[in-house]
Amino acid sequence: MKQTINKKINKIFTIIVICIVLIITNVNSVSFAKGPTNLVEPEENQYLELKAVEIKELETAGGEKEQQLIMELWGNNLEFKGFNVRFSYDTTKVNLSSLQTNEEITNIDSMSNQYFKFENEFENALDFTQISEQIGIVDITVTFNPPINTTEHIVDKGEGIGKVVDTGQKVKLGRISFKMVNEKFDPNWFSLVKDSSSSPITGIKININGNDKFENESTFRFTDGLTGTVIGQIFTAPTASKGIYKATIKAYPQDKVKEIIDWNAVIEGELDDIHKRLLTLDAKEVETEDDGTYEIELSPGIYDILVDKPGYLDQIYIEIEVNAGEIVDLGYVELLAGDITKDGKIEIEDVGLLMNVYGIDDTSADYEMKYDFNDDQRVEIEDIGLLMNNYLKIRNIKKGKE
């Protein structure tokens, strides 16, 4: 009798222990399962990012060439317990593929662990679940996978919150693979899929702490880490009263420029046709913002860059090296008015051309922006004064970021 009672007590005790273990090991995932309810607006710098970082040139067993696109998943200035993201990709350009072999994924559900891999720090702590099996859609949930150990970026926030991923300023979470059909990457191949009838409504939901969540579309971004960025700012004193400083930034691959221009042979202060020759080449170009700032995305390489405004001396940067994922800051430069001929120097011919159109406005067939330095739609005494203030000034050619 006593032995029977002891057996029953042991059985009950075992059940209690099991229940306690289940409760403890699942406490970090319960909050995500039931879902946070408080919607929070993110800061501009808080987001997840799927960034293209590498295009591998591969050869199949049959000797055919193919491309593999590697994208990295990054967290920026976030703390989270998990997230759910749903996005589409253009199947005419890319398709999910094995990270190891680049074999195209045809059964998404059974091969999700082949196209995505967490970084080592998160491999055992986070669980990746593919929700949709539809080709052209990635619909995944990332949650904690108990038991969870703290690491550099997995921290315990204490009672009521528990463990979260703390990305700090930036941390790489994992990688995803696509087989590329197209030669040049474009982030526009990817977009969040909204659905008012199912979560996440906006295509992204980030569980911050079990109670709060982000659902703003800005918290998941598709970016191009295959290119570098050149930035800078221009200023034109004649238009300062308007606060608008416009110019065109043109980037030329240096190997193409070398075919028609020898920079070592250019003599400072002598008239030349460099501007005219540069315009015969294809260039990647952007217009400055009204405040004079500019940003131009370029494939890795070495470039010669022309800052061009009609009627102003050119600013030219040569041998600008651009690397993937890096920013090159060309700084601040003031453009000088008066080089109507674009021959690299403000001289007597520019004066003569300006005097020939003196007094006209933008209703005249002879009106051109290159005569109207202050952009007031008239050619008048102020324009003449601006030219004379810069008389005999020459174009600036700057090597590298010196």
For 270-280, the pLDDT digits (tens) are 999 999 999 99
Beta bridge partners of 337: 312
Answer yes or no: do 243 and 189 share one domain: no
363: left (phi over 0), alpha (psi -120 to 50) or beta: alpha
Is 8 part of any domain?
A: no
| Residue 311 confidence (pLDDT) above 50 | yes
Query: CATH number of the domain that 117 lies in?
Result: 2.60.40
Is 85 part of any domain?
A: yes
Query: CATH number of the domain that 293 lies in?
Result: 2.60.40.4130
Beta bridge partners of 66: 58
Question: Percent of the chain at pLDDT above 70?
Answer: 90
So what's the pLDDT on residue 89? 96
Helix (H) or strand (E) holding 15: helix 2-34
What SS3 state is found at 25? helix
User: Which of 224, 246, 273 lies at the terminal end of a domain, its last residue?
Assistant: 224
For 31-54, the pLDDT digits (tens) are 444 568 899 999 999 999 999 999
Q: What is the Cα–Cα distance from 205 to 346, expressed in whole angstroms?
A: 59
Give the mean model confidence (pLDDT) for residues 207-213. Answer: 96
Categorize the per-residue pLDDT at 111 as very low, low, confident or very high, splitting at 50, 70 and 90. Answer: low
Is 20 part of any domain?
A: no
85-89, 126-130, 288-292, 369-373: least confident range: 126-130
Q: Note whether 339 and 311 are within 8 A (CB).
A: yes
For 237-255, the pLDDT digits (tens) are 999 999 999 999 999 999 9
What SS3 state is found at 312? strand
| Residue 222 confidence (pLDDT) above 50 | yes
For residues 340 and 400, the model is more confident at 340
For 318-330, the pLDDT digits (tens) are 999 999 888 999 9
| Residue 109 confidence (pLDDT) above 70 | no
| Residue 10 confidence (pLDDT) above 90 | no
User: What is the DSSP secondary structure assignment for residue 352, as one 8-state letter?
Assistant: H
Answer yes or no: do 285 and 202 share one domain: no
So what's the pLDDT on residue 214? 98
Answer yes or no: do 111 and 251 share one domain: no
Ordered DSSP codes for 270-302: S---HHHHHTTS--EEEEPPTTSEEEEEE-SEE
So what's the pLDDT on residue 130? 86
Q: Note whether 38 and 213 are within 8 A (CB).
A: yes
What SS3 state is found at 30? helix
Q: What is the Cα–Cα distance from 219 to 87, expressed in whole angstroms?
A: 13
Answer yes or no: do 56 and 82 share one domain: yes
The domain containing residue 59 runs over which residues? Answer: 34-224
Answer yes or no: do 220 and 236 share one domain: no
Q: How many domains does the chain have?
A: 2
How far is CA 345 from each of CA 326, 337, 394, rounded to the nearest angstrom? 34, 11, 4
Is 24 part of any domain?
A: no
| Residue 15 confidence (pLDDT) above 70 | no
Give the mean model confidence (pLDDT) for residues 89-108. Answer: 90
Question: Percent of the chain at pLDDT above 90?
Answer: 77
User: Which of 193, 208, 224 lies at the terminal end of a domain, its last residue?
Assistant: 224
Mean pLDDT of the chain: 90
So what's the pLDDT on residue 28? 42
- The pTM score is 0.62
Answer yes or no: do 239 and 379 share one domain: yes
So what's the pLDDT on residue 25? 43
Q: What is the Cα–Cα distance from 347 to 369, expressed in whole angstroms?
A: 19
| Residue 361 confidence (pLDDT) above 80 | yes
So what's the pLDDT on residue 138? 93
For 128-182, the pLDDT digits (tens) are 988 877 889 999 999 999 999 999 999 999 988 999 999 999 999 999 999 998 7
What SS3 state is found at 12? helix
How far is CA 245 from each of CA 157, 294, 350, 383, 390, rounded to the nearest angstrom? 49, 11, 22, 16, 18
So what's the pLDDT on residue 216? 97
User: Which of 199, 224, 249 lies at the terminal end of a domain, its last residue?
Assistant: 224
Q: Note whether 240 and 321 are within 8 A (CB).
A: no
Q: Note whether 72 and 172 are within 8 A (CB).
A: yes
Answer yes or no: do 291 and 199 share one domain: no
How far is it between the farthest Cα atoms of the chain?
A: 121
